[in-house]
A = this chain, B = another copy of it.
Amino acid sequence: MDIVNGVLSGSRLALSRAITAVENEYDEAVEIMQKLYLHTGRAYVIGITGPPGAGKSTLTDKIAKDFRRQGKKVGIVAVDPTSPYSGGAILGDRIRMNELTEDEGVFIRSMATRGSLGGLSQKTAEVVKLMDAFGADVIIIETVGVGQSEVDIVKTADTTMVVLVPGLGDDIQAIKAGILEIGDIFTINKADREGIDRLNIEIEMMLELNPKEVNWRPPINRTIASKGEGIKDLMETIANHQQFLNESGELEVRRVERLKTELLAMINDQIGRYVVNKLTKSGEFDTMVNSIQQRERDPYSVVKSILASVLR
């Protein structure tokens, strides 16, 4: 089977194989991505992030089902070790999620987060493009919102939703601060818990302190995802943001920015690999490491001479 044509004609098996090729960096991955790239840019991408236990997977489930009712083809990328899609979370979650996995209009893929040598955000972006070329109308990226890598992952999205819950305590403040800046939409989930008003005020205050440059004030929704409460309003908020992105030209602006970031990452990645491969093959790398370790040379001048030797 030709993977490229398979993906373009909507074959789930072909998409699955293409993702595996990208994840494992098989030789054919670059060719696949290269050919499919010209068929991307159509899907609307939503990033869902927040601390562990915020109910991101349950929200993803509800949102995906709502898009399905609208007749839309949905892709889900779970970059979240606590996600039931990735084998985490409790059994009940995983059973509930099976309804989605049995729907032909939904394609779910979880990404390995452990043991990854960086590059996870780049791979996530490529999986999103594959699902886009496959014909997904909406792609949801679910990622646990802590740490720089996770923030990088969420930057792949057109709309970023930050999910918080009341009562996680002061310790979680830092996590909130780190992801507050990237939220286009906020959702306070488990809204029947105590402390919801306080959390709402906290978010409002942080938004006042860090206003987004563009003409969009991030709305704060309240949901109880497990009971389906607040989902209708949330879907409206999502639709509003999508409309805003389109009408303001912000969608184009963001996508160009994102493309620049991706391009830089690709240049860095590939040029670095080339140089290291070259040095490793010739045995130079080990010699250099050795002389630095013995404090005969310093790493900064070594890198300088490496650059001089490989660059035009």
The residues of A with any CB-CB pair to B shorter than 8 Å are 30, 33-35, 37-38, 40-41, 52-53, 80-82, 88, 90, 113-114, 116, 118, 120, 144, 146-150, 152, 169-175, 177-178, 181, 255-256, 259-260, 262-264, 266-272, 274-276, 285, 288-289, 292-293, 295, 298-303, 306-307, 309-312
Do A272 and B274 touch (CB < 8 A)? no
Which residue of chain B is the closest to A118 with respect to CB atoms? B148
Q: A264-B276, A267-B275 are in contact. Are A293 and B259 (CB under 8 A)?
A: yes
Closest Cβ neighbor of A32 among chain B residues: B300
Q: Which residue of B lies closest to A172 (CB)?
A: B52
A263 to B301, CA, bound (A): 11
How far is it, in angstroms, between the C-alpha of A147 and the C-alpha of B178 when the chains are bound? Answer: 13
Closest 3 CB pairs of A and B: A147-B147, A53-B171, A268-B272
**In the complex, chain B residues whose CB is within 8 Å of the CB of A298:** 33-35, 37-38
Cα–Cα, bound, A264→B117 (Å): 12
In the assembled complex, the CB of A196 is this many whole angstroms from the nearest CB of chain B, namely: 19
- Which residues of B have CB within 8 Å of A276? 264, 267
Residues of B within 8 A of A181 (CB): 114
- Cβ of A177: which chain B residues have Cβ within 8 Å of it? 81, 114
Are B272 and A52 closer than 8 Å at their CB atoms? no
Q: Are A37 and B148 in contact (CB under 8 A)?
A: no
Residues in chain B near residue A34, CB distance under 8 A: 298, 300-301
Contact B146 A146 (CB under 8 A): yes
Contacting residue for A81 out of B113, B152, B178, CB 8 A: B178
Report the minimum CB–CB distance from A291 to chain B (whole Å).
11
- Of B33, B270, B272, B295, the residue contacting A267 (CB under 8 A) is B272
